[in-house]
Amino acid sequence: MALPGLHRAELVLLAAAFLAGAVVAAAVVRTQGSFKGQCPIYGTALWNGSSLALSSSSAPSLCYFVAGVSGFLALYGLLLLFYWIYSSCLEDSQRSPLGLRISVGLSAMAIFLVLVSSCILRFGTKTLCASIIHSKIVDCCSDAQKLSWVPPGTGLHFYSTLYDAEASSWVNLVLWCLLLALQLLQWKWEAPSFQPLERGDPEWSSETDALFGSRPFRP
């Protein structure tokens, strides 16, 4: 049984959200790994005369949160995508009203979590870059990738990786907003509509006859 058009569009958005979330999770994990497990988000870097060093860092759980939220939502979207592809091959593949309400609630929660993660990446990267530019050794944060770091090798492509994570996170937010809009649209269309009876409707006549009796026929 084929899925409705809006539901098929929802699956396309789920596939795109999976890719965007996977990029965010991989980028954050890679950046944290390049700093030997330290979380550079909201961190500060200092110039010691020959190289840069991460003088302070956030708790590792902050990076775990961003990567975990993005990775979990990516996995959720992938599993949901596979489920509906499998269900579309069966006879009964329509989503129940309760299932649609649950999907709306989960999408709203996903939007909140992705928004928080995007803001963390945005302002956390700005804080790190501000500390680097404050040292007046580079004019922009991307140039700091060309400098040596202590210990050797840390910080390599950190700005490009964090920028990719932030951009993918904002794209992920837009995708989840579109998903929620499609689900709300399906909810509205599937909800039974109530229309008041008018005098010309047969139902109006039957109801009034039951209450007041039938009117005599006038030739």
pLDDT of 162-202, one tens digit each? 999 999 999 999 999 999 999 898 877 765 544 454 444 44
pLDDT of residue 4: 63
State the pLDDT at residue 90: 67
pLDDT < 50: residue spans in the chain: 1, 193-195, 197-219
Q: What is the pLDDT of residue 3?
A: 60
Give the model's pLDDT for residue 92. 58
Q: Reduce the DSSP state of residue 52 to 3 states and report it.
A: strand
pLDDT at residue 190, rounded to an integer = 65
Among residues 114, 141, 190, 170, the alpha carbon closest in space to that of 43 is found at: 141
Query: Which pLDDT value is given to residue 207?
Result: 35
Phi, psi of 90 (to 5 degrees): -95, 175
pTM of the predicted protein model: 0.80
CB atoms within 10 A of CB 64: 15
pLDDT for the residue 105: 92
CB-CB contact of 182 with 9 (8 Å): yes
Q: Which is nearest to 31 in space by CA: 22, 21, 41?
A: 41
Q: What is the mean pLDDT of the chain?
A: 82
- Which pLDDT score is estimated for 206? 42
Q: Coil, strand, or helix at residue 44?
A: strand
The tokens for 12 are 């396309």
pLDDT of residue 91: 59
